């Protein structure tokens, strides 16, 4: 079955460390997204990519970086510049940047990042 | 910035009752979608309604859209304990580069 896989499920980061969250999809989707979710809150867009080797900042990109070297992969690095990184991170993909089909976004199961 | 705002923020009902959640948004949209999130999990797409549609059904779900009021509602009929989750609306707006913008969600608890 096709899907989108995020790893690890739980991640602990020490102050000043960079950490990378993995997101892989085998749905042949063109577009991929990273969202941050804080407890009891909605989703805020960090970065998105509509095509390989291209990505755009979302609403809260400061302190984060991404790459899109392959269609299947869209890793997110949380850098030491992100002052409050403890959150639930969700990766999603869609068949194309414009949501023309009726399936919407497909989400991974998330990575919970905690600063220790 | 959040395009969609859900109301209520939390809803508690008994099994068998209907649950209604509302979503309001600010700018013109291409479509509006509803998603479900179980605690600590990713979101699952439930239903999409286009801006030229007024009502959609999918099983026990009924979604309405009123573009004149910039609002949508999600009705879950004959609720079950397994419907306990957070529900989010998301809008695909003309002025947002066709990216989805999510609201803050409604936390639904269905008591057995």
Residue B112, pLDDT > 70, answer: yes
- Closest of B98, B109, B84 to residue B33, by C-alpha: B98
Q: Are B74 and B61 in contact (CB under 8 A)?
A: yes
Sign of the torsion angle spanned by Cα atoms A8, A9, A13, A18: positive
- Closest of B97, A7, B12, B30 to residue B21, by C-alpha: B12
CA distances from A75 to A5, A43, B7, B101 (A): 11, 18, 34, 21
Q: How confident is the model at residue A5 (pLDDT cuts 50, 70, 90)?
A: very high
Residue B40, pLDDT > 80, answer: yes
Residue B35, pLDDT > 90, answer: yes
Place of tokens 């063109």: A30
pLDDT given at position B98: 60
pLDDT given at position B64: 98
Interchain proximity A107–B101, CB inside 8 Å:
no
Residue A99, pLDDT > 70, answer: no
A15 φ/ψ angles, rounded to the nearest 5 degrees: -55, 135
Residue B96, pLDDT > 70, answer: no
Residue B107, pLDDT > 80, answer: yes
pLDDT given at position B1: 44
pLDDT per residue as tens digits for the range A32-48: 999 999 988 889 999 99
CB contacts under 8 A, A 51-90 vs B, are 56, 58-59, 88, 90
pLDDT given at position B25: 92
Interchain proximity B88–A107, CB inside 8 Å:
no
Of B1, B33, B102, the CB nearest to A43: B102
Interchain proximity A102–B44, CB inside 8 Å:
no
Tokens for A89? Answer: 């991170």
Give dist(CA A32, CA A98) in Å, integer.
Answer: 12
pLDDT given at position B7: 86
Interchain proximity B103–A42, CB inside 8 Å:
yes
Interchain proximity A108–B41, CB inside 8 Å:
no
Report which of residues B3 and B72 the model is more confident about: B72
Our CA-based measurement puts residue A15 at a distance from the nearest CA of chain B, in whole angstroms, of 24
Report which of residues A103 and B36 the model is more confident about: B36
């Amino acid at each position: 079955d096709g899907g989108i896989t995020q790893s690890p499920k739980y991640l602990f980061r020490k102050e000043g460390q960079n950490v990378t969250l993995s997101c892989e999809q085998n749905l042949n989707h063109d577009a991929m997204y990273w969202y941050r979710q804080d407890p009891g809150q909605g989703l805020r867009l960090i970065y998105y990519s509509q095509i390989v080797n291209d990505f755009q900042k979302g609403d809260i990109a400061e302190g984060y970086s991404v790459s899109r070297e392959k269609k299947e992969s869209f890793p997110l690095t949380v850098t030491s510049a992100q002052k409050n990184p403890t959150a639930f991170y969700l990766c999603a993909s869609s068949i194309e940047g414009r949501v023309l089909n009726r399936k919407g976004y497909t989400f991974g199961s998330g990575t919970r990042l905690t600063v220790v | 910035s959040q395009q969609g705002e859900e109301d209520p923020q939390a809803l508690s009902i008994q099994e068998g009752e209907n649950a209604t959640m509302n979503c309001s948004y600010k700018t013109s949209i291409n479509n509006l979608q509803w998603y479900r999130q179980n605690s600590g999990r990713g979101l699952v797409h439930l239903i999409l309604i286009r801006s030229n549609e007024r009502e959609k059904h999918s099983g026990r779900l009924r979604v309405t859209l009123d573009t004149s009021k910039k609002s949508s509602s999600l009705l879950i009929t004959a609720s079950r304990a397994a419907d306990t989750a957070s529900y989010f609306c998301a809008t695909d707006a003309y002025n947002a580069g066709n990216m989805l913008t999510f609201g803050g969600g409604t936390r639904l608890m269905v008591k057995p």
